[in-house]
Structures are given as C-alpha cells and as structure tokens.
A and B are shown apart, each in its own frame.
Chain A
Amino acid sequence: MTGQHPSGDERGSNTQEPAAERRTNGFKPPRVPDEPAPPMWSPGEVLEHSDTGVVVFTPEGTVCYLNAAAERLLPDCAVGTAHPIPPATGTSWQGELFDRRVRGRRAVLGNGHYAWYIQDTTAERRREDALLAERRRKVFLAEAGRMLSATTHPRRLTDLVTTLPARELADWVALSVPSMEDGRLRTTYAPATGTPIARVTSGLGSAWTAPAGVGRVLRTRRQELHPLMDQALLARLVPDEAVADLVAVDARCALVVPVPTDDDAPSVLTFVRSATSDPFTEEEISLAVDYAERVGIALRTSRLYVEQDRRTMLLAQALVPGPLPEVPGARIAARYRPVALTDGLGGDFYAVHPTPVDGTWAFSIGDVCGRGTPVGMFSSRSLLILRTAASAGCAPAHRMALLDAEMTLGDPSLVLTAITGDCSVHPDGSARIRLTCAGHPPPLWMDPAGRVQAMEFTDPLVAGIPGTVFGERELALAPGSTLLLYSDGVTEARDADGEAYGVQALRHDLASCAGMPVDALVERLEQRLMVRLGDAPVVDDVVLLAIHIPYRDDDETLPTLVELDCPVPDEHPDGA
C-alpha cells in the first residue's frame, strides 16, 4: 500500500515505522491535492450509514443533499425542493417530526450553504420523561401521605382526600364512605376547578346492588377501569347529584378503587378524567392504588383518634375549672394554662367555694404529682373533698387532714401539694386570711404600697401518712392588698438555657403589677413568664390565682356594675 505513494511525500516517514502504519489501519485522509488516490470508500457512504440525519441546504433554502437517516426522519423531503421544517437560521433546534422527538444542530458550510444534523431523541426523551414522572409520583405520594396523616378531623380529611389528587391523578375525584351503622353511603367530591366541595348521602342498599362503580367495588373489593364512558354508564358510577357535574367536566374515563380501611366494607375512591386529559396509564393506576392505601391509613387513624379524643375530652372537660364565683369584698382572677392533653391529664386544681359562715368564703389550689388519667381523676376528687369540707364548716387544717385521710385509702403512689384557706372580709373592708399550706409553693402577697412578701410554711405535703398534722397561719390584708397563689409549674418553668423562672422573678414581676386590676395582673404575670421562657416548651400546668382586697370606696361601683348587666360579671375594676 505504501508503495503507491512517493517516498518523498509528507507521510514518507511512515515507511520507517511500520507499527505506526498498522495502527492507522490503512487510513489515508483524502488530503493529497496533487495526487488523489482512488478512494476505497466515499465520505458519502459514511454519511449514508450515520444514525444522524444530515440535510444540506443551498443558500436559497432548497435541499441539495440528504442522507438515509434524514430520509427516514423527513419522508416528505426531497432534493431540489424546499423543506419548511428545519429553520434557515439559528444553531440548534428541538422539535417533533411526526411521532419522533428530534434535536438538531445547524452548521454553516461554504458558499452560504448550510447543513442540519438531526438526531432522533425519542427513546432518550421517553426514558427521561418516565424518570421525571416517576419522581413526580413519588413526591406526590409523600406529600399527600404527610398531609393526610396530619389531619384527623373527618370532614377536613375527606375534603383533602378529594382535592389532593386533582392535578396529579384526575380531573374529578370522589370518596364514598359506607356506614353499616346507619346504612348510608356518604360521597364527597371535588372538581379540580376549585368549585366548592360537595357532599351527598345516599342509601347504601341501592348502591350495593349496582352492576358497576362504587357499589360493585364495595362488594368485590376489586378496582374497576372504565376506559370509555357514556352518560348512561356515568349515571351508574356516581350518585345522581354528581352526574351533572361530571357531564360539565366532559368525563371520559374512570377508575374506581377500593380504599382498604380494615372495615367490613371498604371506602371507595372514584377518579374521573375528562376528554381533554390522557387515559390512565398503568403507572397511574398503580399510583391511584398507592394513594388509596394512604387514604385508608388516614381514615383509620382519624376514626381511632376521634373515638379516643372524645373520651379524653369528656374527662378533661369535667376537670376544667369552672368560672370563679363572685365573692363579697374581694376581686378574684385566675389564669390556668394546662399543657397539651396529649401528655395526659394534669393534676392541678383550684377553686373558690362557699362556707356556712356569713362573710367568709374559702379557696383552694393544689397539684397531684404526675400526669395521666388516675392523676386527673384524683385531682377532681381532692377538690371535691376540700369543697365539701369547707361547706360543712371545717377549718382549713381540718380540711387538709380529711384530704390526707382520703389519701390513705387510695393509690399509695399518689401524693399532692395543696393550699386551702378561708377569707373573711370585715365591715371596714380589710380581710383576714386563715390558711394551710401542705408542701405547696407558699403564697406571695403585695401590700397597698406594692411591696411583695412571701409567707413561710414548713408543713409536709399530703401523702396519706397517718398522723400527719397540718398547721394554720393567719394574714391580715389591708384594702389594696393582693394575695397570689400559684402552682410550681410557674416557678419551675425553664427557658431554653435550662434556667428556671424562680420565685425571685415572680416577686419582681408581681411588684411591677402594682395598681393594676386583678385580671390584668394575672394576665401580665402569665405573659412575663411566657416571654421569659421564649421558645422553651411549657411542661407543667401553670396556675395563677390572685385575690385582691379592694379599697372601700369601690363598694359603690359594685351595685352599679350589676345594674349595668356587664357581660362578664365575675370580674370588676380596681380602685382608681
């Protein structure tokens, strides 16, 4: 082969390196101008076998060459004619040719000619699309699952179930929930257009026997696909009320899927697509099934939650302190901030109750240690004992002893701290407080000048130990004074740094409330506490109970207020 070339040419050195020549496999670029070798093959041949379609245009835009691949992609393209699809300008182009997806690159050739190199990207794009669709479905399921599991309210849940798949799965979605209890079928549906969600109730019996749609799926628990529907079929698939709605969206195909809820009869999801949407693909059908499974879990959780919540709420409501009664000669206000019920019932209680002695009334505050249903129940029992003892005329220490005696009978693991006291208001407006404090944070009191002092007690807590003796202490409150009772949830609340609020801060903040109406006072104390805690969670119930002895001249405002029929009559203004 080398012999065909004069040894003096530029490649002459190759003759001295036969190995290098072998590597070139006989390739000779057709670049020798003076002595063109008879070609073993032509570039045209190469082009003919290329998978890339090549079309060469004259400067006027007529086709002057096209290879086999281009012919396949553009069957209507012929040499000598103009072809409108590949543009005459630009450097790249993406588009569709018949059912193929293509990508092209334009190169400018000599003399104003240009060529388009066109690649068929159909397979590549299909893979990409499938991947993207797969990712979208995953995101949709995850998002939907998250939203569904966060919702326990039955109505909101059905609303969500029918609106969530709007963009991803169907143009119209209905959820039908059968109830064996009342023999009704409740259907909720939401068109994708954002019009209000509709709810209809029909007899379960008639649906049950239906030859297709919800009724049949209820019986068979098998999904149904209706690739093409007419109005007659439509009317059998959905409740009568919804037919007009479906005609309006131009319903074309439907997918009816059972929702597994572990009940006797499943709930049923109906997905409908309009004539303008594509029919359901296999992947979309399995997405609908996956979605139905998530819906099933959510419906089940919601049902359990509602049942349990109703029971807890009934109990909790019984324990919530009622409004404070009006008492002569004093203003009382309280703040009660229980932590979430999900942590179990708390054991805090407080109340103001009557005594048989004229001008004397009683008050109590307490905390059964721990949380949970037994704690909550015992807390309401404790309050009842203190109240009954007070109305029977027992003195504070005696009441506490009765409570202690009751403790010896019950669960030995329960202990509580409490304060119970009597308040007698004298004709001159001042008051005398007589109280017992069993292990509870002792009360603070603020004199009319705004000085805050703490009472001191050493009595044990109420633990049902036989022979425990409780003492009593007296305190004279001049008009303008305030007594503050609080739970340890106040002083032991910790901020994010773990620092407790503490009695010192409470005393300081109480002093800053001098001169405020007693309702504003407890409100402000609660706020100061919460602001101090910042983002830190409140882990124990907060109770604040303030008793204020008003100045005498306030007595005149009391009857006026009652006459005024003030909306919340248990709270009154402070002295001016």
Chain B
Amino acid sequence: MTHVVSDELDLFLAHIGRTDEVGALTLVRNLLGKGVPGDEVLTDLVIPALRAVGERWATGEWTVAREHGASHVTGRVVHLIADATPRPSSASRIVVCCAQGDWHGLASTILAALLRVRGIEAMVLPPGTGAGELARMLPDSEADSVAIGCMVSTALPGARAMVEVARRVGVPVLVGGPGFGPDGRWAGMVGANGWARDARQAADMLAGPDWPTITTPAPRLRHLPDATHDGVALLRTPLVAAGMAAMVPIEDERSETTLRDGLVTAVDTLAVSLFLDDHVLFVDFTRWFADVLTHRHVPRQALAAAYRAFAARLAHVPGAGATLRMAGAVL
C-alpha cells in the first residue's frame, strides 16, 4: 500500500505548487476512496511533500508566495483527511500547540490528526497562542497533557515559557518537532516532561504507565539568572542594522528581504544559543543560513562580516563572542 501513496508524491507536489486545491483534494480523496488509511496518507504523502516544499523554499526554487500557497492547500488537504478518518474513543485529552514564536500551525494540525487515530483526543490551539493565553485556557480545558511542537529553535524560549505555565498548574508537557534539536537534546532545557520523535512515539508515551497525571513545576535553569540572552535579544534592531551595513550592498530587493529576515533570525538564534548554553544551535543555523544565502548568490564572507559586526557590539555579553567566533569558523 505504502508505495502506492508515495508514487503520488510528485503529482501531489505539482498540485500544491500550483495552488491547485481541487487537484490536490481530488488526489487525496481518491486515495482515501481506495481504502488507504488517513494516517498513512499523512505520513507517507503529506509530510514528505512538506519536506520537499521546505527544501524548494530553502534552495530558492520556490518563492515565499508559492511556499505559502502550497502550505495553504496542504492545510485544506489535512482538514479533509482529518474529517474522513475515524477516531477511536479516546483515553486521554491533550492540547496541541506551537511554541510561542513558532508559526507552523500546520504541523500541530497534522500531529493532532495522527494522535486522534491513536485514540488521543487532541484539541489544536492556533499558532500565536502565547504562554499567557495557555495559562488562561488550560484550567478550563480538561486537558490531561499539553503537547508543544516547535519547528524553529528560535521559539525555544517561548516553548520554555509555555512549559512553565502548564507545569505550574500541574499539567505535564510533551514536546516534539525539529526545533528541539537532534534527538530532542533541548527538550530538557525547556523543562518538558518528555520528548517524542514522532506521532507514534508521542501516543505511546501519553498512554504509557510512566506518563504523570500531575506534574511538579518545571525545574529552574541554573545558568540563566544573568539573562544573558535577553541582552542580545534587546539589541536586535541595532544589531541587524549593523549586520546589514557590514554586508556588501545587495541590489535585488527580494534577496535583501531574505537577508534582513535572516539576520533577524541570526540574532534570535544567537540569543537562544546563549539561553540553551549550547553553541551547536548557532553553528548549525549558520551552516543552514549560509546555504540559503549561497542559493541566492550572497557570498559566505558577507555573513562572516555581519558576525564580526555583531561581535563588536556584543563584547559585554558573556559567551556571545566565543559563539560568534565558533560559527564564523564554518563560514
């Protein structure tokens, strides 16, 4: 069955790449009609297609508008699958949301659909829901647990804030998504009760005997009393300006926007790196961003120059200089 689904990948990608909602919906409707289970369509067609969309955006092959159009159509498809897939009676109730600052709501919707198939009643909160809103809605939600997804590591401090409010009222938190790093290495720092690789593992953990009914408040972070990362985040605007000035002027306006957005992300990632006490995050980001820039014909040295400009302005922030140097070395 599986190969039938993945055979459709190219066609499905073509549909969503043209924002052809009818084409994409018809394709998926046919698969479901042939008896392919909804969760299989999600894991073998939709998620791989999204991965390809991400790559095409990263290589510059697809514009931002095209990427958004594709995600939008995929969102429709996910709703269709979710509605067509039977839900077994549920043993536990959870709230699924994005980490504050992460806007990949589609991932929460997909995860929720996959969890429902496995007998977990999942309620999705819209992306942009902050820690404050979570704190206000959680007591009334009857939720046994909260699942927080994070696709971009810059949202990890936001995830931490949400974990804190959930655990403060005793609700345990499961986290997942690539933002938590390889093998969920930053899930502990965020204070989560657990990390899951995928929906299957998430469902097993939530239904397992070791999952707590009521949890204690999130453990404190030892290295954070000085709030070093705040010092960087507060300087975001002047740092981005300095970084832009240090890079060679770019004529193409579209590339300039990518560049500016990228530098904003760079500053945020540096801040989060200090928050996590782990330079790996910033070094990995630098590698990824350098590739994105190369596809847009911006030389790596330009980014190195921007980093030097950051370092000059962050001499007072402990750890920032060392992290920037380490990242500069991969450029």
A561 in the interface, Cβ–Cβ < 8 Å? Answer: yes
Contacts of A574 in B (CB 8 A): 19, 69
Contacts of B127 in A (CB 8 A): 527
- How far, in Å, is B39 (CB) from chain A's closest CB? 17
Contacts of A526 in B (CB 8 A): 128
Q: Please indicate which of the listed interface residues A150, A309, A497, A537 has the most CB atoms of chain B within 10 Å of its own CB.
A: A150
- A sample of 13 cross-chain residue pairs with beta-carbon separation below 8 angstroms, ordered by A number, consists of A147-B170, A150-B168, A156-B170, A194-B213, A197-B213, A337-B128, A340-B133, A341-B136, A496-B234, A517-B73, A520-B69, A526-B128, A527-B128
B296 in the interface, Cβ–Cβ < 8 Å? Answer: no
Residue-wise, chain A 134-146 has the 8 Å CB interface mask toward B (1 for contact) of 0000000001001
Binds B, one of A105-113, A228-236, A383-391, A563-571: A563-571
Selected from A147, A337, A512, the residue in CB contact (under 8 A) with B169 is A147
A527 CA to B135 CA, complexed, in Å: 21
Judge whether B22 and A153 touch: CB under 8 Å: no
B72 in the interface, Cβ–Cβ < 8 Å? Answer: yes
A46 in the interface, Cβ–Cβ < 8 Å? Answer: no
Contacts of B69 in A (CB 8 A): 515-517, 520, 574
B60 in the interface, Cβ–Cβ < 8 Å? Answer: no
A527 CA to B129 CA, complexed, in Å: 12
Judge whether A561 and B140 touch: CB under 8 Å: no
A202 in the interface, Cβ–Cβ < 8 Å? Answer: no
Contacts between the two chains (Cβ within 8 Å), count:
120
Judge whether A534 and B236 touch: CB under 8 Å: yes
Judge whether B22 and A564 touch: CB under 8 Å: yes
Closest to A310 in B: B140
Interface residues, chain B, with chain A CB atoms under 8 Å away: 18-22, 25-26, 29, 63-66, 68-69, 71-73, 76, 79-80, 82-83, 101, 103, 127-128, 132-133, 135-136, 138-142, 168-171, 212-214, 217, 233-234, 236-237, 257, 264
Contacts of B237 in A (CB 8 A): 497, 499
Judge whether A568 and B139 touch: CB under 8 Å: no
A283 CA to B103 CA, complexed, in Å: 51
Judge whether B132 and A340 touch: CB under 8 Å: yes
Selected from A143, A340, A520, A567, the residue in CB contact (under 8 A) with B136 is A340
A160 CA to B170 CA, complexed, in Å: 7
Judge whether B22 and A152 touch: CB under 8 Å: no
- How far, in Å, is A200 (CB) from chain B's closest CB? 17
Closest to A538 in B: B130
A309 CA to B141 CA, complexed, in Å: 13
Interface residues, chain A, with chain B CB atoms under 8 Å away: 143, 146-147, 150-153, 155-156, 159-160, 163, 194, 196-197, 309, 337, 340-342, 496-497, 499, 512-517, 519-520, 523-524, 526-527, 530-531, 534-535, 537, 557, 560-561, 564, 566-568, 571-574, 576
A359 CA to B213 CA, complexed, in Å: 56
Judge whether B29 and A564 touch: CB under 8 Å: yes
A573 CA to B19 CA, complexed, in Å: 7
Selected from A197, A497, A513, A564, the residue in CB contact (under 8 A) with B65 is A513
A573 CA to B72 CA, complexed, in Å: 9
Judge whether B68 and A520 touch: CB under 8 Å: yes
A534 CA to B171 CA, complexed, in Å: 26
Known: A151-B169, A566-B76, A567-B80. A520 touches B71 (CB 8 A): yes
A527 CA to B21 CA, complexed, in Å: 23
A163 CA to B216 CA, complexed, in Å: 10
Selected from B68, B132, B141, the residue in CB contact (under 8 A) with A524 is B68
Judge whether B212 and A194 touch: CB under 8 Å: yes
Judge whether B65 and A514 touch: CB under 8 Å: yes
Judge whether A568 and B79 touch: CB under 8 Å: yes
Judge whether B169 and A534 touch: CB under 8 Å: no
Closest to B154 in A: A531
A571 CA to B19 CA, complexed, in Å: 13
Closest to A337 in B: B128
Closest to B79 in A: A567
Contacts of A342 in B (CB 8 A): 136
Judge whether B72 and A519 touch: CB under 8 Å: yes
Closest to B212 in A: A194
Judge whether A516 and B68 touch: CB under 8 Å: yes
A410 CA to B54 CA, complexed, in Å: 54
Selected from A160, A341, A557, the residue in CB contact (under 8 A) with B214 is A160
Closest 6 CB pairs of A and B: A153-B139, A573-B21, A520-B72, A515-B65, A520-B68, A567-B79
A155 CA to B139 CA, complexed, in Å: 9
A211 CA to B63 CA, complexed, in Å: 78
